[in-house]
Structure 1
Amino acid sequence: MSRINNLTWLKDNERFLQINSKLAMDVSLSEDESTFCLSVAILLIKEYEKDKRRTSYLEFGYYLILNYALQSDNYEPLFDLSTNLGFYPISKFVLENGMVDEKRLHHYFVNNGLSKFKYQEITETLEQRKFRNQLVESEARDNCYIAPTSFGKSSMMVELISELELDKIFIIVPTKSLLTQTYKLINSTFTDRKVIFHDEMYGGESNFIAIFTQERALRLLKSEDKMKVDALLLDEAHNLFESSSRSILLSRLIRKIRARKPNSRIFYFSPLISDSDNLKFEEQQKIDTKRIQFNIKEADINEYRLNGRVYKYNRFLNVFFDIKSDRDMLTYIDENKRSNNFLYLRAPRKVEKFAGILAEKLPFTENKELEQLAITISKNVHEDFYCVELVKKGVLYIHGKLPDLIKEYLEFNFRKIGALNFIVANSVILEGVNLPIDNLYILNTYSLGAKELTNLIGRVNRLNEVFGGENPSLTKLRPSVHFVNSEEFNRAGSNMATKIGTLKSGKFSDEIKNPTLLNFDISKYDHIIENSSSLEAIDSARRGKSNALSIIERENFLTESPQTEVDRMKVQFLESGLHSTYYDSGSAFDTILDKVEIVQTDPDSDELDPIEKVYLIFISGLENEIIDLSFARLQNEKARNYYRSFVKNIHALTLKEHINSTVKYFYTNASETGNNIFYIGSSYGELAKDGSVIGTKTYIDLSTKSHKELVNLALVKIKMESDFLSYKLNEFVSLLKDYGVISEQDYDIFIYGTAKKRNTDLTKLGLSGAIIKKFELDGQIKNIEIDNLGHIFVNGEFKQYLEMQDDLVQFEVRKYITI
């Protein structure tokens, strides 16, 4: 932390330290202590006003006054501070709830003035209003809006689209959950425009709004190589800094849009960017940045340690106050629970295990809503799905290994059912999933730095829940956060104090790992090579530098227009991301081209299905060149047959039918091969391939699993294989269509399970193959219409039919159809 913002010296004042200790333990201050506390707060705020770089002075002053107000029930100092500094939602709340004397003339004028800051049923802070107006009025090509979570990003996007009045607008979101969430918002707002969220929903329109992931956006630009995008709105823009393949795709999309139209508008949105210049991909960029400096929420941070002691952390003084002890971890969690508790763990298997342990601790209380939810899950997923019993105790879990529909349905019910008090989840909850969380338990901090912790904590008590909703309260300005140490769910000797200490400044630096960004420092590899004494570190640095240089070279090639047919095919190969499947992608590409020509001229190739063509062109003869072991499995005929069956099942079977089919496959496979060792992946792996506990654990022993465990592993297996299908195998099939090796009809049958246009149109809108098949069997397809703007309409007969269906079917339909 910079010296100008360092306040830890204040803990040397014994009286002040004692006051903060009392605030931590929620012990009432004496009149003298209250006066001293408020005096220090005022001095800190005055120092900030003299030098606006001293942001921590303002934050600590606000922290002291907020805590004093909540403890003493005297809100006059908080009201004055909020009014003077533009924290108007607090001022408005205090006045509306009679928390200060409304008869004072000053309060009357303040109340009148606050009406100017009302925007779409909320009261904005001074910074919110100022920067929203400035962003909307900005004429800059590149703009960045940096604000804490829940500071009106979605409504700002809507206003921007309205004001821009541009023809082709892309909104890029990082997850499928956010895709449908954002689509519903935009589609319901812009009813006179075509709104799409799948690249194949595009029908040649000159005016449309697209809500895409970067993969879908790039696919559209690949198929429409003359398309020029007028504006790009990029959600969670800090993802650009990462070194992942998705971050590279994101920067490729931005560069491609700008290359095709130099005056295109780009808007970056994020709560987690330190310096917007780090977003630059070319020297001449000037990014007009609007940053909300102050977050009116200040987390109440607690740590439960292995010895049972509980500490309260003051980030300004960087001090842990010893406040109490608890018998055990579960008792601590139970005693500190609130209405909507989120328990964070990293590994999906541990998420499931902890949810079960927690539910055992909780008493059973009969609740009709929870009982009905259990019945619905049992009917549509499986009676042995762990969540069936968990939800009866008010507990559920979600993680990235659950099918998307089930994950989203569980999230929906957590929002809807008040008796669902606990959600155990991993990082799937971090990006844009808006749940009513008022209490956070962090049980594992692996891979969570200051930035990730800030984002996680920001999910607690969103501002609309602080000032509105069912239980608005200023106490929610102090989000309750608990770091819970345990050796079972974290590590031996678990101690999160160091990780908690990364929050002391409230600031963090951007770490640029994406080689395509201007501020990426490739010389860091040279520094490691020159100064390291470790041969392993030197070798790793050399490989890192080589990889970064190859990424830069590849991305530069992809932003240029292909000059020859071979270059065009190479661009398609690279843009699909499939080059990373091979050790030497250049040599593999040459071999693949030769094979494409052979298959194109072979009349017998029409008899081959897409999976066999994928094998012949991308695998046969290249087995030793393939890095991706999951893809290499297709060299085995048994694996190809498995995926043929899986593709049919994913389109035709209900989830419950598919689970039963997969469990049957587990038993059949073990019986036929005489081998119970089965590949499941690293998230659930317990054994190495040879069945030992030494080595990379990606296998399980089926013979050690109960039927219930197999059912839940089948659910995971279906999600894993669905992801492999979506993100890998479908991409190879799509490339074969681009190369003219498979027909449009074969492509539709493989991707959508049917070549019927009405059915594929509904699939592109997001409905599952199983539910479309159900509509077809029930004679309901005729009752669904899609207009030329992509809006879905249903008649009265369909509405009556839907009312007769169970809750999960209604949920899936209402995700995409407003009824």
Structure 2
Amino acid sequence: MLDENFLHESIINRQISKRYGRDSYIETIEQYNRSAEVFSSVKTKDTAYIAPTSYGKSSIVREVILQNEFNRIAVIVPTKSLITQTYNDIRKLNLNYKLILHDEMYTGQEKFIGILTQERATRLINKFNICFDILFIDEAHNLLSTDSRNLLLSRLIMLNYKSNKNQRLLFLSPLVSDISNLKIKNTSEGPIAESVIKHNLKAYEVFYLDKRNRLSAYNRFTDDLYPLASNTNFIDYITTRSKEKNFVYNYRPKNVEKIAEEIYNNISVEIESPTIRKISKVIETEISEDINVVQYILKGIVYLHGKMPTILKEYLEYNYKELPEFKYVVANSVILEGINFPIDNLYITSTFGLKAKGLNNLIGRVNRLNYVFRENSIEKIISNIHFVDSETYTDSRSNMINKIVLLREHTFTDENKNPLLENYNVDNLGLSRYEKESKIIKDNRIIDATDFLINREAKNQSDRIKLNFIENNIDDFYKNVDTIIPTVISNIQKITDPDNVIQTIYEVFIQNLSYEIKDFEVERLKNEKARNYYKYYIELFQLFGLKEKINDTIKYFEIKAQTADPFLYIGSSFGDTIRQSAVYTNSETQQEVYINLQDKNRQRLANIALIKIKLEEDFVSFKIKKLIAFLFDFNLISEKAYFLAVYGTADVNLINLTRIGLGPNIIRLLNENEQIKNIQFDDNGNLISNSDFKQFIRRQPELVQFEINKYVR
């Protein structure tokens, strides 16, 4: 009863083919055919390539660029951390395009490739009145959700379509069931062309260790558990069944660090490897001797989560990928988007928040096909997946066996929660009457704000402010954007010192408005101590290297620990103390979002410092700098004040280096050593250097070399 084409591919899909050219990789026949469909259809229509993890979505992006003549290209990535990875992939193609990583890097080029987040792409369109010929939407399933960043992604597509009715979209995802659900309202006619990998070459065996240390094998086809002989506990099970490259997953960053510590304590012998010892020494010398990873590395263990400073996280990721001596990576969902790791064994130690799609995406990280074929290890086609239950690390709100049963599902339903998508229907969300009424009110606000943004009805100052708020998600800081704008306008008239950027932020966005602010981090700026700290941060702290930042932060912790207020806000990921606060609602007063610095030794303070540094880095990057950009856009601060606050320098040559990704501390180092003259941008926006610069870099500490070599040829 199968149609002929389906039967044909069902029979031959196990065959593989090797594609040669700029990319050389092995793919299934089905993968080859679906790729060819994409290359053909994307010329004339919007297209979606839906494939399991490791089925060549990054290669699709490169090939589409190579095979077509689009002038203005945007690759939209979900996180800033993926910008560098994608930039390096495209840079290797040596194309005649200007590469742009930031809206302020655009200088009027007709041919360019923007590797951008949705925020930067939106600002590029609005600031320069340009449009893209094609938008690559990576991790396109994010469009189905309704958080502020994915609403902005939907609005970006709508905004670009308004200026370019012939725009092409290429959606890339492993997690979309119905392609039509990706269609944005009023952005194109006709259906999205569909290219779907239906046959996953990989298979997997499932094991379950329950909280009583009973081991079973799970048959997902018959829904049966088969008891196996076992006499092992949580951590012994992980270490005794480990393979060459093991991924231990837990959704909480705090638990990620605790599990890494348990594995470390359970392994008695350090690895005899000069390379491993060198990496440990690099981190000890160039970051801190007190942080845990210095010791964990010696036993082949790294841990990763989103609360780690970017340079340390990227350095650990790189070495785990490159060195066989690293045996364990303990991580949370930070590993799920875009990171291509060698993994041949997976331990799932918590299932909270994982639904059928997310679970399959997580499992898809094991034995990616490029590693299987590169190593000629065909036995890795079958992966081992271990669900390891425990009282300590498994959230009480999630029953692990109920999540294991989800592996039986062969089809998944898209949860379309985005009112800007064509197929959205609030009746399909299964909400109660009260929840539905609340959702409709919220949806209407989203739709009204989107209409305002797309139609750009900015007739007066109030409209221009509202437009900027929506465009940059500043409206997300407040309960209702329309009610606060009159106060913002009034506040603008009372600015006291435009050169004091943080004070100006308070006077414009916080003063007389704290009761309207729903973002706790932003609301903190009503306190003078907080404003003084962030003034210090943008004027000095952001220029420090990571080692300087850690030492400075530990000193602050040690002083604060001796005061009458030794409590530090650290957020729910690492908080262990409840502290009553008038800012929280009744339900939030019981959250453990603080830590008491008095009972922490120096080693613990150093690890907390890493987390605090990343929290502040994200707050300044994603929130404070949005407000600073607003002040500059409305001529409320000078260009010099804007440059110093955002980039740490007013020198345009140095700012261009920062825009491409080099950190302010690296810029400071190069400037102080008179190396700026030895690097320059070529016509395509690549940083190139001379022999003097290369010689200088070879004399620098390894982490400095690592960061610079990501961007400079």
TM-score scaled to structure 2, two decimals? 0.94
Q: Which amino acid aligns with 2:273?
A: N
Q: Which amino acid aligns with 1:262?
A: K
Residue 207, structure 1, aligned to residue 98, structure 2: no
| SS at structure 2 position matched to 1:698 | strand
Q: CA deviation at 1:668?
A: 2.4
Moved more, 383-392 or 629-638: 629-638
Query: 1:623-634 to 2 correspondence within 5 Å?
Result: 623-634=514-525
Q: Which amino acid aligns with 2:598?
A: S
Q: Which amino acid aligns with 1:266?
A: L
Contact 2:458 2:467 (8 Å CA) reproduced: no
- Corresponding position of 1:95: none
Residue 677, structure 1, aligned to residue 562, structure 2: no
Q: Which amino acid aligns with 2:486?
A: D
- Corresponding position of 2:655: 760
Q: Which amino acid aligns with 2:231?
A: D
Q: Which amino acid aligns with 1:152?
A: G
Query: 1:162-311 to 2 correspondence within 5 Å?
Result: 162-224=66-128, 226-282=129-185, 284-311=189-216
Aligned residues: 703
| SS at structure 1 position matched to 2:455 | coil
Query: 1:543-558 to 2 correspondence within 5 Å?
Result: 543-558=438-453
Shift >3 Å, 4+ stretches: 52-55, 81-84, 114-120, 491-495, 523-527, 690-694
Higher relative contact order structure (alpha carbons within 8 Å, sequence separation ≥ 6): 2
Pick closer, same or farther for the CA change 1:802–1:564 going to 2, 3 Å.
Answer: same
Distance in 2 between residues matched to 1:462 and 1:657, nearest whole Å: 38
Distance in 1 between residues matched to 2:124 and 2:190, nearest whole Å: 26
Distance in 2 between residues matched to 1:565 and 1:467, nearest whole Å: 60
Q: CA deviation at 1:196?
A: 1.1
Residue 363, structure 1, aligned to residue 314, structure 2: no
Moved more, 339-348 or 299-308: 299-308
- Corresponding position of 1:573: 469
Higher helix share: 1
Q: CA deviation at 1:597?
A: 4.1
- Corresponding position of 1:780: 675
Pick closer, same or farther for the CA change 1:526–1:683 going to 2, 3 Å.
Answer: closer
Distance in 2 between residues matched to 1:424 and 1:504, nearest whole Å: 26
Contact 2:97 2:112 (8 Å CA) reproduced: yes
Residue 591, structure 1, aligned to residue 487, structure 2: yes
Q: CA deviation at 1:408?
A: 0.8
Pick closer, same or farther for the CA change 1:781–1:84 going to 2, 3 Å.
Answer: same
Pick closer, same or farther for the CA change 1:742–1:444 going to 2, 3 Å.
Answer: same
- The runs of 5 or more residues in structure 1 that have no matched partner are 1-49, 59-80, 90-113, 530-537
Distance in 1 between residues matched to 2:209 and 2:185, nearest whole Å: 47
Residue 391, structure 1, aligned to residue 294, structure 2: no
Contact 2:18 2:27 (8 Å CA) reproduced: no
Q: Which amino acid aligns with 2:214?
A: R
Moved more, 263-272 or 682-691: 682-691
Q: CA deviation at 1:493?
A: 10
| SS at structure 2 position matched to 1:370 | helix
Identical positions, percent: 38
Pick closer, same or farther for the CA change 1:459–1:115 going to 2, 3 Å.
Answer: closer
Q: CA deviation at 1:495?
A: 4.9
Select which of 350, 358, 361 maps to 1:452: 358
Select which of 86, 90, 105 maps to 2:13: 86
| SS at structure 2 position matched to 1:325 | coil
Contact 1:485 1:494 (8 Å CA) reproduced: no
Pick closer, same or farther for the CA change 1:793–1:119 going to 2, 3 Å.
Answer: closer
Q: CA deviation at 1:639?
A: 0.9
- Corresponding position of 2:40: 137
Query: 1:61-72 to 2 correspondence within 5 Å?
Result: none
Q: Which amino acid aligns with 2:234?
A: M
| SS at structure 1 position matched to 2:113 | strand
- Corresponding position of 2:585: none
Residue 434, structure 1, aligned to residue 340, structure 2: yes
CA offsets per residue over residues 694-729 of structure 1, 9 Å max, x none? 712211111111111111111111100111101111
Pick closer, same or farther for the CA change 1:456–1:211 going to 2, 3 Å.
Answer: same
Pick closer, same or farther for the CA change 1:245–1:188 going to 2, 3 Å.
Answer: same
- Corresponding position of 1:482: 386
Q: Which amino acid aligns with 1:51?
A: L
- Corresponding position of 2:319: 413
Distance in 2 between residues matched to 1:293 and 1:702, nearest whole Å: 53
Distance in 2 between residues matched to 1:500 and 1:290, nearest whole Å: 29
* Aligned alpha-carbon RMSD (Å): 2.3
Contact 1:525 1:545 (8 Å CA) reproduced: no
Distance in 2 between residues matched to 1:409 and 1:592, nearest whole Å: 43
Pick closer, same or farther for the CA change 1:755–1:386 going to 2, 3 Å.
Answer: same
| SS at structure 2 position matched to 1:432 | coil
Q: Which amino acid aligns with 2:690?
A: N
Q: CA deviation at 1:315?
A: 1.8
Query: 1:487-636 to 2 correspondence within 5 Å?
Result: 487-491=391-395, 495-523=399-427, 528-529=432-433, 538=434, 540-566=435-461, 567-599=463-495, 605-606=497-498, 608-636=499-527
| SS at structure 2 position matched to 1:813 | helix
Distance in 2 between residues matched to 1:303 and 1:380, nearest whole Å: 41
Distance in 1 between residues matched to 2:502 and 2:700, nearest whole Å: 36
Select which of 731, 742, 748 maps to 2:643: 748
Select which of 317, 331, 334 maps to 1:425: 331
Contact 1:355 1:395 (8 Å CA) reproduced: yes
Q: Which amino acid aligns with 2:56?
A: G
Moved more, 306-315 or 625-634: 306-315
Distance in 1 between residues matched to 2:152 and 2:697, nearest whole Å: 39
- Corresponding position of 1:708: 603
CA offsets per residue over residues 449-488 of structure 1, 9 Å max, x none? 11001111111111111111xx321111111211101111
Q: Which amino acid aligns with 2:12?
A: L
TM-score scaled to structure 1, two decimals? 0.83
Contact 2:305 2:331 (8 Å CA) reproduced: yes
